[in-house]
A and B are shown apart, each in its own frame.
Chain A
C-alpha cells in the first residue's frame, strides 16, 4: 500500500492456453518456465468459467487476476492481492476494447496473429513498466494506429505509392464485406 497501482502482467492466451502475446512487467517470474507455469495455472483455474459478457476475477497464490474471454482469445490482467481490482479491471477493459477497435471487431486468434504487431504495440501503450499508461480504449487504439495523434501530418510522411497501397487495401476490404 501507499504505492502506485501496478500491473504485474498482461496475458493473451488462446482457447488451449497457448500464448498469443504476453507481457510481464514484474520480475517475479524470472524464467520462461516459471512464466509458462503461471500461465498454465491461470488458464486452468479460469477455463471453466464464463467471462464473456462481464469481466471475471479470481484470486490465488497472492495474485488477483481479472479476465475476459472474447471468441477464442483469453485476456488476463494480473496484480498483487493488495491491488484495487477495479483498476485492474479498467486496464483489462481498455486493452481488450482497444484490441477490438484495432482488429475491427474481428477479435479471434487468427486475426490477432495476423495483426500481431498491433497487439504488441497495444501492450506497449497500455502499461509501461507496471504503471498504467492509458485506459481509454479509443486513445490506445489511436496511439497504436497512428491516426488522430498526428492528425493530418501523417499523410505528408507517406509517399504517394504507400498512400495508394493503403487506399487500395481499404477498397479491397470494403468489396469483400
Chain B
C-alpha cells in the first residue's frame, strides 16, 4: 500500500535548510539499487522507493539505454511475487513508463492477466489499463472476452478502465473493438457519471464513419438519459456535428436539435452551459433569435468571480462579435469593466470585442482607454489589438485620423519585430483602402524608417513608398527620407532605397534630373548590388540613350509585378536542370493558394464555424508534372493545363483506398488513380481501372497504364487517358471498377503465393465538370484588372436562382460551379445582408484570362437573383461562362 512520508524515514536529518530526497541522485546508483527486486525476501517498501527513484529519473528527462531498460523491466516483473498492493501499483506504473518491446511483453502478460481476473477491483482496473497499453492485436484476441466483461463490470473504476483502453485500442485494432458495440451501449446507460462519459466517447468513435448511426445515437440520447456533465458536453459536440452535417437543407423553420442545445443552457454544470453556448454561437448561419439565450448566459459569466469563467465567456463573445456585432452590444458595459481585469488575456479579449462592437461615436473614448492599456501588456496581446484597430478603421473610414494617430504613436514605442510588422502592415492596408489617409500614413511610415532597426520592415516600406509616393501631391518631400537610407543603412536597405528613387524618377518628370544626381552618387557605393541597381536604373531612366525602350517599358519594368507566385517559381527553379533550353518563366504554374490581400483583410474578421471554410484549393503540384512527363504514352499531349484535387472513390477504412486526380490537357484528359492496399495479407498485381465512359460521350479512351504490383501500404498509381475534342467543354460521368490479380502473402515470411486470383472492386463514380477547365488565379487589384480588359468582351445577363437558404449559400454555389478564385475576400457574405457583390478571377483552358463580377440580391421569401458580368481575353469564352452558369 502506498503510504505517505515513505522516504522521510531514510533521511530523518531535518536540520538542513532545504533538502530534496532526490538530491545528488545518480542513474547508475539507482540502477544498482534496483537489484533489491531480485531478493528472495522482497522488502516492499524499499522496492517502492527504488521504483519512485527510477520514475523520478525518467520524469526529469533522463533516459535509459536499451540494455538498462530491459534489465529494469525484467527486475520489475519479479515484483509480481509480492502481495503488497502499494508496490503493485508502482509496478504497473513502471511497466507503462518503460513501454516494453513485443518480445518482452510476453513475460508480464500472464501476471497481468491473472490480475485482470483478480477479486480486487483496483488490480483489475489497473491491470487492464497496463495490458491494453502494451499488447498487440494477436494477444488482444486472447483477452477480448475479459475486456467485454469488464466494460459492463459493476465497479465503475473497472468499467472506465476498460472503456478508456478501448478508445486507445481502437486506433490500433479497430476491427476487434468494433465487436464490443453491445457492451459499450449498455455502459452508456450506466449510473456512474464517468462510465457514461467514457462509454459515449467510445461508442461515437466506433461509429464515427457512419453518419446515420451517429445521428441515431444523438437522437436517442438527447431525450435525456445522459446526466454526467462531461458526457453531456460530449453529446453537445456530437449534436452540433450532426446539425452541421445535415447541412442547410431544412428550409426555414426550426433547426433540428436546437431545443436540446437551448435546454443545456439551463444545466447545473457550468461546463455544459459553456459547451452549449459555444455550440449555438458556432452554428452555421445562426440567427439573432437563436443567439439571444446563449449570449444571455455568457453575459452572466462575465461578472463571475472565477477568472476561467470570465475568460471562457469573453473569448466566446469575442468570436461572436466578428460575425454578429449587434448581438454582443448588450454586454458592452460588462466588457468595459473587464478592461481593468487582473488577467491580461481577459482584458485583451474584452478590448478587442469592444473594438468590434463599438460604433462610430465610441471610437475616440475607446482609444483613450487603450493608450493606458497598451503599455502594460505583452507584445502578443498588442498584435491582437492592432489587428482589431485595423478592422475597426476599415469599418469606420471617417475615424481614420484618430486611429492612424494611435497606430503611429504605438509605432514609436518599444516593441519586437512581429508587433512592429503588424502595425506597419495595418498602416499600409489603411493607406491602400482609405485614400484620405494616404498622405498622413506615408508620412508616419517615413518617420518610422528614420529610426528602424528591422531591415525587413525598412525594405517593405521603401518598396511601398516607391509605388505610392510618386502619386501624391508633393512627391519631393519623400526624397529626403529615402536618400537618408542610402547614406545611413546597411546594403539591403540601400539597394531597396535606390529602387525607390528610380521609381520616383520614372514617374515624376520634374524630379528626374535631381534623381539622376542622387543615383550617380550611388555608383560609388561599397556594395555590388547597390552599384548594379544604380547603373541599371540610370541606363533605364536615361531613355534617349537606349533604343527601343519606351517610357511604357520602363514603368512596366519598375512597377510590373511578378505574375507567378514565388513558391511556384522556387519549385520550378529547383526542378530546372541546366541545359541548352533557357528557363521559361511562362512554364511556372500560376495557381495560388489564396490572395494575400484578401487574406490580410480577412484575418480581422475570421469567418465563424468550420463550414464557412471553402474546400481545399487545388494547386498544380510540380510532382504531378514530373510524374506525367515521365510516362511516354502521355508525352504527346503537351503540358497539363490543370490537375484537380484528389477525389476519393472509396469510403474511409475500406480494403483498398482509391482516389482520382484529373489532369486536364488541351485535347486530352488523364485520370490518375492513386491506390493503396490496406490488407497486409494481400499483394495485388496488374492493377487497372476499368472506366465506363458511356455517360461521357465526348470522351474516348486512348491509353491505359496498369500498375504492375501493389504491395501492402505502399501507394501506387494507375493511369487512364482519354481523348476529347479540343476547344469544347466536354463534361460527363465516369464509372470505375478496379480490376486486379490478388495473391496471398504469408505474414511470417512476407512471401507472396505464386498463384493469384482475378478479382474486381467497385469504385464510386465521379464527374468531369466545367470547373475542371478553370484555374483559380487571383489578381491583386480587381478593379484595375477589370478596367484593363476589353469592354467588347463583356457579356452581361441576369439569372434567377430560385429559393435559397441564404445569400452566402447561393454565392458559394455559383463560385463552385465556375471554379474560380474569389478576390478581395468577396466570397464572404455579411450576415443578414440583402445584396452582395462577388469578384472572381481565373484562367480558362487555352490560357484565357477571365474576370467575373457577380451581383446577388435576395428577396423576402428567399428568392435569389443574380447578375453576371464577364470580361475575358476572348469574347467566346465570355459566352462560354454564361453557358456554364445557365446549365449549372
Q: Which residues of A are interface residues toward B (Cβ below 8 A)? A: 1-5, 19, 21-22, 32, 35-36, 45, 49-50, 54-60, 66, 84-87, 89-90, 102-104, 110, 113-118, 120-121, 124, 128-129, 131-135, 143-146, 149-150, 153-154, 157-158, 162, 166, 169, 173
Contact = CB atoms under 8 A, between A and B. Distances in A.
B306 A121 contact: no
B84 interface: yes
A134 B234 contact: no
Nearest to A117: B52
Interface string B137-171: 00000000000000000000100100010011000
25 contacts: A1-B237, A54-B305, A55-B308, A57-B312, A66-B308, A84-B233, A85-B311, A89-B308, A110-B19, A113-B20, A115-B6, A116-B21, A117-B48, A117-B51, A121-B89, A131-B167, A134-B194, A135-B194, A149-B121, A149-B122, A150-B122, A153-B120, A162-B1, A162-B84, A169-B3
Contacts of B60: 19
Given A114-B8, A115-B6, A154-B85, A56 B129 contact: no
B196 to A, nearest CB: 13
B54 to A, nearest CB: 11
B85 A146 contact: yes
A57 to B, nearest CB: 5
Contacts of B86: 146
B170 to A, nearest CB: 11
A56 B307 contact: yes
Given A2-B238, A114-B21, A121-B2, A19 B59 contact: yes
B198 to A, nearest CB: 7
Contacts of A154: 1, 85
A32 B194 CA distance: 32
A168 B4 CA distance: 13
Contact of A84 (B52, B119, B164, B278): B278
A144 B305 CA distance: 32
Contacts of A5: 230, 233-234
B307 A59 contact: no
Given A56-B307, A124-B93, A149-B122, A3 B237 contact: yes
B164 A86 contact: no
B557 interface: no
B20 A84 contact: no
Nearest to B89: A121
A86 B90 contact: no
B241 interface: yes
Contacts of B741: none
A144 B311 CA distance: 32
A173 B5 CA distance: 10
Nearest to B348: A59
B120 A57 contact: no
B308 A57 contact: yes
B230 A87 contact: yes
Interface string B363-388: 00000000000000010100000000
Given A117-B48, A146-B85, A86 B22 contact: no
Contacts of B233: 5, 84, 87
A145 B4 CA distance: 9
B271 A169 contact: no
A171 to B, nearest CB: 13
A159 B835 CA distance: 83
Contacts of B610: 1
A117 B85 contact: no
Which of B59, B129, B233, B234 is most buried by chain A, counting CB atoms within 10 A of its CB? Answer: B59
Chain B interface size band reads 35 or more
Given A1-B240, A150-B120, 12 more contacts: A1-B237, A5-B234, A54-B305, A54-B308, A86-B308, A110-B20, A115-B6, A117-B6, A120-B55, A120-B59, A133-B194, A162-B44
B660 interface: no
Given A4-B201, A19-B60, A113-B20, A128 B164 contact: yes
Contacts of B164: 128-129, 131, 133
B43 to A, nearest CB: 11
Contact of B230 (A117, A120, A132): A132
B343 interface: yes
Nearest to A149: B122
Interface string B5-39: 11110000000001111100000000000000000
A18 to B, nearest CB: 9
A109 to B, nearest CB: 8
A114 B84 CA distance: 20
Nearest to B244: A2
B518 interface: no
A150 B61 contact: no
B759 to A, nearest CB: 36
B609 to A, nearest CB: 10
A14 B90 CA distance: 24
Given A133-B164, A146-B86, A55 B7 contact: no
B243 to A, nearest CB: 11
A1 B245 CA distance: 13
A78 to B, nearest CB: 14
Given A84-B233, A146-B1, A149-B121, A157 B83 contact: yes
A50 B89 CA distance: 35
Nearest to B22: A113
Contacts of A116: 7, 21-22, 52, 55-56
A128 B59 contact: no
Contacts of B327: none
Interface in B68-88: 83-86
B129 A85 contact: no
A58 B377 CA distance: 13
A106 to B, nearest CB: 9
Contacts of A169: 3, 5
A57 B345 contact: yes
B271 A90 contact: yes
Given A4-B167, A84-B233, A57 B305 contact: no
A162 B84 CA distance: 10
Contact of B270 (A4, A86, A103, A115): A86
Nearest to B271: A86
B4 A102 contact: yes
A128 to B, nearest CB: 5
Contacts of B342: 49-50
A115 B9 CA distance: 12
Contacts of A4: 167, 201, 205, 234
Contact of B121 (A59, A114, A150): A150
A86 B309 contact: yes
Nearest to B343: A56
B274 interface: yes
B275 interface: yes
Contacts of A146: 1-2, 85-86, 89, 122
A113 B56 CA distance: 9
